Structure 1
Amino acid sequence: MSIAFNRLADILRDRGVPTRYQGGALRAQGICHDGDSPDTVAIKRGNNGGVVIFCHKCQGNREFLAAIGWTEADLYDEPLERQQDRPADDTWIPCRERGHKRVAQYVYRDENGGVVHGVTRCDHKCFAQWRPDNGAKSGRRWSLNDKEGNRLVRVVPYRLPYILKAIAEDRVIWIAEGEKDVHALVDHGLQATCNAAGAGKWTEEHAQFLRGADVTIVADRDIPGRRHAEHVVETLRGIARSVYVVQARTGKDAADHFAAGHTDSEFLKVWSPIPYPGDAAVGA
């Protein structure tokens, strides 16, 4: 029995949405597109509990979930964090056959805390990305795309719920090049984020979440790091209230900076492309 499946069936019944069973699935009208196509949404019980939803017109479940007020977390009988996040002693990663060991896992969440995707890091600095999949035996798939290369999950910055709360509290948002540096900043009382997959992967979609924010970018001390920072700046024009670019006083990145005993006030300011109103500009 799937608790989530029965809960969804009750919601559809209470809303008067026509449903019927066909081909091993509960079929429902596509309320995600005004219900103009009957039987376009297939609803099945997941292999590991929970419920799987697919709208053949929308080619996914995001719009359907929004229409009923659900998030990805509601698809599971138990909270998503318990079922989908691997426990601390589960060290399987795709590069394990080469003798690599997992040393960190970073979970990217949506505005409501639901899991969007995750990144694992091994002791040889291999990074593998996964997405939740209730139909998979492990509860996840080691790809963010389908077979045709189309992305299946949203683009969100790391630690999004914390970032949105910090912006509402008028706190500075720090952007680093990777998750390790983000945690170095967070460990020193700052609110920080990044994109998955490192330098060059920040997009305008990431930037949209930082509207109205005061941002400080920590650029790695190398050519890719500088280019990455410059690209992030361009995506934030017209979005952020202010943007500053700094570098580590010692070493390459934020982790090196703090490891050398420096504080957040000791980063080297190298550029103020979007200075806070009234501040003096600093050239690149």
Structure 2
Amino acid sequence: MIAPDELLTRLDGVKRAGQGWSAQCPAHEDRRASLSVAQGADGRLLLHCHAGCDLERILEVLGVDVKDLFPDDGKGKAEILATYDYTDEEGRLLFQVVRFYPKDFRQRRPVAGGEWEWSLRDTPRVLYRLPEVRAAVAAGRRVFVVEGEKDVHTLEAWGLAATCNAGGAGKWPRECSEGLRGAHVVVIPDNDEAGQRHAELVTAALAGIALDVMVLKLPGLDAKGDVTDWARRGGTLEKLKELVTRPPLPEGVINLTEAIRSVSAWAREPMPRGIDYPWPGVTTLTRGLRPTWLAFMAGYPGHGKTAAAIETAVSAARQGKQVLFVSLEMSPDEIAIRVGQRFGLDTGRLYGGTPDDTDRYAFELAEGMPYHRLVNICYRGSLAEVEEIAQVMKPDLVIVDYLQLMDIGRESRVEGTTRNSHGLKRLAQKLQCAVLCLSQLSRPQERVKVYTPGIFDLKDSGAIEADADQIIFVYREREPGNKTPREEGAFIVAKARMGRTGMQSFVFDGATQQFEMKAVAEERAAIQGWSVYQGGGEP
């Protein structure tokens, strides 16, 4: 138990008043010394705010537990902490809700001789603060329905009309509904399942009785939190009024004004950067890869889709971004070998069983690059598994290689691919990450001439065009009758929702599995004295 003197040191404006003390109540802005403090005959400390502040709120501000007000007698005897009067419309007392320490609630009604009977029997069940409620209804004011008397007092301190039923959530007597006939009602449930069910119960019970009923879920509440908790965490009357007149939108709905307000900050300070592609010209056309965006990179077999995806993953990691690479075509070992090629690994020697020190050094260099730790590889084929992993890892970029290899269940190829395309778009929006998905083209490689691809060539799904924020083709020409594509080619930006379409020519180095912009390659070749069209290397 806390000593009286210690408790008084935590209060302001303390003065002796009879057998006890008066002080400024710490639970509200008090200029009149509204708090009375006394010590009962049994030694317990008694606190009462004449302005109506709840004892729990007073103790919370003081940093004192309820149990600290009672002597440590070890008997565990229940003590009455508060009583709440329930009256009829004329103000005549019908019954009380009594709060005990340890926490417990019971109900009692007055009987002859000033005694109490701890049973309501046929006593009418009425709303708490019924006279005030009926006056508010007559005046056309809103009435707030909460789950407990403490919350009623919180709202009354803001000058609002509030009420509740005795017994808490899930115990709304039919008679209570009549007290709200003709009312504009706002139900504020506690943030738990019981609170939600209670709100539904009250709403159903008031159908045809109240003029209108609104259920207001307060934002930012912890589990089981109530309006009093919301007020303690900075909620104000002004904020509550704004929520009532403009309630929170359902999940997934954003008001246009709020969206404009959000992006207007970019007019005053630089817009946060997304993820740049490894090729500046492509980034200029597309605006890069940004959260919630779904980009498709498509190409014919052997034109370098996977090489471009790996290069994008490494580039994103070098920018400090977390990457989840969903590889459904290559194993992690094969991807690691591709990365090793970037550092000088010769795959001819490696697969031929004759690696030398150059190859070993290439692996050492690749393994030692710290940004490679930001790239994680998985080979789960179903959309649900990919989403589950992404929710845990929270990547900035998800790369899928490739769309047509994802699990489609029992659906047709077109239906399954469409569903997976829609799902990847939702994943990008839900996790606020960018998604780059590779896709095949439908035109056969066996044709004498490979045509420059267009959006209509995307394989299996017309939904790709609708879902995509970007569509980029990796295209390399080939000589007639020769299935091997040339080293020169282009990134063709066929769709860029927030950018523009266009083409960026490149030279592909198969030995290092890297793309270089053609202008840069030609400039470098001119300096070194060899032709970019010779396939690279010194003459």
TM-score (norm 1): 0.56
The percent of aligned pairs where both chains have the same amino acid is: 41
- Name 1:198's counterpart in structure 2: 168
- Name 2:116's counterpart in structure 1: 140
The CA deviation at 1:266 is: 3.0
The CA deviation at 1:257 is: 1.0
Q: Which one has a bigger Cα radius of gyration?
A: 2
How many residue pairs end up in the alignment? Answer: 171
Residue pairs, 1:167-182, within 5 angstroms: 167-182=137-152
CA separation of 1:194 and 1:208: change in aligned 2, threshold 3 A: same
2:179 & 2:95 partners in 1: Cα distance?
17
2:220 & 2:103 partners in 1: Cα distance?
22
CA separation of 1:271 and 1:173: change in aligned 2, threshold 3 A: farther
Unaligned segments of structure 1, at least 5 residues: 1-87, 90-96, 146-151, 273-284
- Name 1:230's counterpart in structure 2: 200
- Name 2:90's counterpart in structure 1: 112
Match of 1:182, SS state, is: helix
Indicate conservation of the 8 Å contact 1:245/1:271, yes or no: no
CA separation of 1:133 and 1:258: change in aligned 2, threshold 3 A: same
CA separation of 1:217 and 1:270: change in aligned 2, threshold 3 A: farther
Deviations 1:228-262 (A, max 9, x none): 00000001110111111112334311110111121
Deviations 1:7-64 (A, max 9, x none): xxxxxxxxxxxxxxxxxxxxxxxxxxxxxxxxxxxxxxxxxxxxxxxxxxxxxxxxxx
CA separation of 1:271 and 1:174: change in aligned 2, threshold 3 A: farther
Residue pairs, 1:4-153, within 5 angstroms: 98-135=76-113, 138-145=114-121, 152-153=122-123
Indicate conservation of the 8 Å contact 1:203/1:235, yes or no: no
- Name 2:218's counterpart in structure 1: 248
- Name 1:279's counterpart in structure 2: none
Paired letter, 2:233: A
Indicate conservation of the 8 Å contact 1:101/1:123, yes or no: yes
Match of 2:112, SS state, is: coil
The CA deviation at 1:98 is: 3.1
Unaligned segments of structure 2, at least 5 residues: 1-45, 48-74, 251-539
RMSD (Å), alpha carbons: 2.3
1:160 aligns with 2:130: yes
Deviations 1:82-136 (A, max 9, x none): xxxxxx99xxxxxxx733322211000001100000011123320010001015x
Paired letter, 2:112: N
CA separation of 1:271 and 1:127: change in aligned 2, threshold 3 A: farther
The CA deviation at 1:264 is: 3.5
Which stretches of structure 1, 4 residues or longer, exceed 6 Å deviation after superposition?
Answer: none
Match of 2:205, SS state, is: helix
1:208 aligns with 2:178: yes
Paired letter, 1:262: G
- Name 1:257's counterpart in structure 2: 230
- Name 1:219's counterpart in structure 2: 189
1:254 & 1:183 partners in 2: Cα distance?
10
